[in-house]
Amino acid sequence: MPTLVCFHAHPDDEAIATGGVMAKAAAEGHRVVLITATRGERGEVAAGVLRPGEQLWERRVEELAEGAKILGVARQEFLGYLDSGMMGTADNDVPGCFWQADVEEAAAKLAVILREEAADVLTVYDDHGNYGHPDHIQVHRVGVRAAELAGTGRVFEATVNRDAIRAQIAEAIASGEVPSEQADELLDRGLTEMGSPAELINTEVDVRPWIQLKRDALFVHASQVSEESWFAQMPEDAFLRGFGQEWFILRDAPTSWSGTDLLDGLV
């Protein structure tokens, strides 16, 4: 059976961006491997969430392991870099952070795993990391190069359908489903500028049958997804509409490609 390898920047990214395709692949009997570049040391965390003496990265490693089990991951690894923080912060310059990693060196590390797994498919992010986070951009650079080194033939860039998100937000605001203060938060967070325009996206996977697994895997990341977060406050039907599809750009795809399954045609 084919092997799907998903490469992400921080714990919780996997649930948001590819949780559905991972759960789908595992349910269909495929091998799913999760590689995370960092342990999410720079994530924000509310006061009182961590146990006495616990470091954030320790909690996030624990959360990732639990989420990976929910999604059916057979192997989970870290590349061993430090979280680089948000773009433009001093954390970007810390030695050992992923943003400062030599692309060839990091790609070689990832390529070792791709070869060990005889990976058929690799997911990365689009070239701007969906929203400009340095570690997400680096996932794109390192992942694309690692696939070249390992000879992994099918590379998908996980992205967000910007046009669909805009339409969903407008609909939710117009219907009153999203309170005005939450609507402002969504707009302030730049969600309508995330991802890629629909015209660049050539693969859309319907993950609605696995939406509960995706939701469960996301909420185990309690250090990052609090009960007050807009994720947690979304009604289940709104979560289904917003996250029931996962979008990708298949690199070097034929112009006729319009995919609905990352593992389509692989045996």
Q: Are residues 188 and 96 in the same domain?
A: no
Q: Are residues 62 and 175 in the same domain?
A: no
Q: Are residues 130 and 216 in the same domain?
A: yes
Q: Are residues 48 and 103 in the same domain?
A: yes
**DSSP readout, 26-90?**
HHTT-EEEEEEEE--TT----TT-SPTT--HHHHHHHHHHHHHHHHT-SEEEEEEEBP--STTSG
Q: Are residues 210 and 96 in the same domain?
A: yes
Q: Are residues 99 and 45 in the same domain?
A: yes
Q: What is the mean pLDDT of residues 64-93?
A: 98
Residue 49 lies in a domain: yes
Q: Quick check: 117 and 152 in contact, CB under 8 A?
A: no
Residue 225 sits in a domain whose CATH number is 3.40.50.10320
pLDDT of residue 123: 98
Residue 133 lies in a domain: yes
Q: What is the mean pLDDT of residues 84-88?
A: 97
**β pairing state of 121-125 and 75-81:** unpaired
How many structural domains is the chain composed of?
2
pLDDT of residue 235: 79
Q: Which run of H or E residues covers position 236?
A: helix 236-243
Express each pLDDT in 178-236 by its tens digit. 666 666 666 655 566 789 999 999 999 999 999 999 999 999 999 998 877 767 777 78
Q: Are residues 96 and 172 in the same domain?
A: no
Q: Are residues 171 and 74 in the same domain?
A: no
Sign of CA dihedral 68, 26, 206, 235: negative
Q: Which run of H or E residues covers position 156?
A: strand 154-159
Q: Are residues 78 and 207 in the same domain?
A: yes
Q: Between these two residues, 232 and 56, which has the higher pLDDT value?
A: 56
Q: Between these two residues, 55 and 265, which has the higher pLDDT value?
A: 55
Say whether pLDDT at 29 is over 80. Answer: yes
Tokens of residue 5, six digits: 């390898």
pLDDT of residue 95: 97
Distances (CA, A) of 143 to 47, 101, 112, 223: 35, 13, 12, 27
Q: Are residues 184 and 246 in the same domain?
A: no
Residue 263 lies in a domain: no
Express each pLDDT in 177-191 by its tens digit. 766 666 666 665 556
Q: What is the mean pLDDT of residues 124-134?
A: 96
What residue numbers bound the domain in which 186 lies?
163-194
Residue 243 lies in a domain: yes
Residue 265 lies in a domain: no
Q: Which range, of 44-48, 74-78, 260-264, averages the lowest pLDDT?
A: 44-48
Q: Are residues 24 and 147 in the same domain?
A: yes
Q: Are residues 139 and 27 in the same domain?
A: yes
Residue 218 lies in a domain: yes
Q: Quick check: 153 and 252 in contact, CB under 8 A?
A: no
Residue 116 lies in a domain: yes
Tokens of residue 163, six digits: 């046009």
Residue 258 lies in a domain: no
